[in-house]
Structure formats: structure tokens, C-alpha cells
Copies of this chain bind each other. A is one copy, B any other.
Amino acid sequence: MTDERFSPPRNFGWLPPEHSDYERSRVVILPVPYDSTASGWVGSREGPAAIIDASGNMELYDIGISSEPYLVGIHTLPDVAAHGGGPEAMVERIEGIAGELIDDGKFVVTLGGEHTVAVGAARAYASRVPGLSVLAFDANADMRDVYLDSPYSHACTLRRISEIAPLVQVGLRSAEREEHEYIREQGFRFYGPREFRSLGPEGVAQQLSEAVYITFDLDAFDSSVVSALGTPEPGGLHWDEVSDLLEAVARRWRIVGFDVTELAPSLGPRANAQLAAKLVYRLIGLAVRE
């Protein structure tokens, strides 16, 4: 029944089957509409659907990098179901699914939902890719060991990830005193936006390794750039800065997978979903060049 009279299906990029069948696709989008540990304003569970909807409103040629990323094939899976057993069980479910996809030769793009979902995806990569390093975009330290009785709260995301791979964080401008002290004691490489500007994209990129996983909490952006967030913060990164850093990383290393999380569409303008879709597409274009 698919023919010229119909729009493409509502997958990421609104791609026809020849560019979105599972078999023919190098990239797999894994939507995870999960936000049950959120402690501020809620709604990131609506993020994946909003990003996918917005992605149809985007040119498939990315003029910024002169590339047509969809040509490698982008398959969109159905939503991962929320696990009633709490965030740890959810993280395990995501790790399981992402692992199967990696083993099947796919490049996995996880769309949150809350940042917690990144732990599952990052673990799947860390256990399969030797020498993996992680580049985290985030306004918050996310370095609590336990929060509201759970080690898998969104506020513990980077702590959990730091336990499995070397971590470089960019965008930091909100933390508990204890977290801040822990970061300094441990010598973690967390950079506020101004520190990032001093260091420059190359200065950050060179701290990573051959294989890089990127975890992107959208609150790394300045709250004027993305406001549809549970924890928007002023004083953050701007689009060109982020784009430059991603290009610097892609030039130097191999990006093996990534996630984009925390978009809560009802808390800001629709333009934020559009930006998130473009970010995902840019990252695919940088990571999976033909």
C-alpha cells in the first residue's frame, strides 16, 4: 500500500522503507520514553516521540557537514517499555537491547527519556568496545552515588558511567558541594562552559580515546537554546560550540554510539524538538560516514 500518494512513515527522518528497513540500516534508533526517577518537572517520556515527529520537518541533506546521513539507513525501533521493577531493571533492559543491536552490527542511538537511560546504553558499549571513553554533555554533575535511595536515579548517571569508562564532561554548572569535591578529589575532567571555551574543542577532544561514546543531556545547552527540560540552566553551551566539539571529536576518533536525553517537550517551544532532531542527525552524519 505504500506509494507516492502517501507520506513516509513516522520513523526518524520520515524515511521510506528502502532507507529504514532494519536489515538495510546501519543505524538503529532506540526510543526510551522513561522518566520515572525525574525529580523536577516531568515529561521527558514524551521526548522520543517529539524528536521523531520533528525529524520529518528537517532536510535530509545536512548542509553543515555536506552529508546525507540517511543514506546509511536509519531504522527506528518501537518504544522500549517501562519496567515496573524500578530504574535498575530498566537500565538492564536497555543494556540488553542495545547489546543485541551492537552484536548485530548496528550503530545504536538511544533517545531518552531521562538521562538514566544512558547508563544501559553506555554499559552495552563499554563491555564490547575495548578502550572506550565517554564524552558527556550535561549541566549537572550527575555524580551522586545514591539519590532518593536509588543508585540508578538520573542524578547518579555520570557516576555510574564513570565506573565503567574514562569520562570527559562538558557543560557543568550545577552540582552539590559533595559532588563538586568528589570530582576535584578524583581528578575527573569536568568542564564548565567557560572552561570549555578556554580549552577549545580540540583541547577537549584530545582527552578522549580511539572509540568514543557520547551521552548528551540536552541541559548542557544554555536554557535559551533548549528550555524544554526538567532542569534548565542558564550560562550553558550554544549550538555552534557543541557542533564544533562534535566535529573535532569525529575528525580525531571514532564515535561508536550515542544517546540524546531529557527533552520534555511540553515545557518549552516546539523548536527544541527540532533542534534535538537536528543534533541526532548531525551526530549520525559525523559518526557513520559512508
Q: CB within 8 Å of B: which residues of A? A: 1-2, 4-10, 22, 33, 35-37, 39-43, 45-46, 49, 53, 57-61, 63-64, 66, 68, 77-86, 93, 96-97, 101, 140, 147-150, 153, 172-177, 180, 192, 194, 222-225, 227-235, 239-240, 243, 266-272, 274-275, 278
Contacts and interface: CB of A to CB of B under 8 A. Distances in A.
B267 A271 contact: yes
Given A41-B46, A232-B275, 14 more contacts: A1-B101, A4-B81, A5-B81, A5-B97, A8-B78, A10-B10, A59-B140, A63-B175, A84-B147, A84-B153, A227-B271, A227-B272, A234-B274, A235-B240
Contacts of A85: 86, 149-150
A93 B7 contact: no
A10 B97 CA distance: 19
A256 B271 CA distance: 33
Contact of A271 (B1, B42, B194, B229): B229
Total identical chains? 6
Nearest to A41: B270
Contacts of A149: 83-85
Contact of A39 (B41, B82, B96, B234): B82
Contacts of A53: 49
A192 B180 CA distance: 36
Contacts of A58: 174
A163 to B, nearest CB: 19
Nearest to A152: B84
Nearest to A183: B63
A268 B43 CA distance: 15
A274 B194 CA distance: 21
Contacts of A45: 42
Contacts of A175: 59, 61, 63
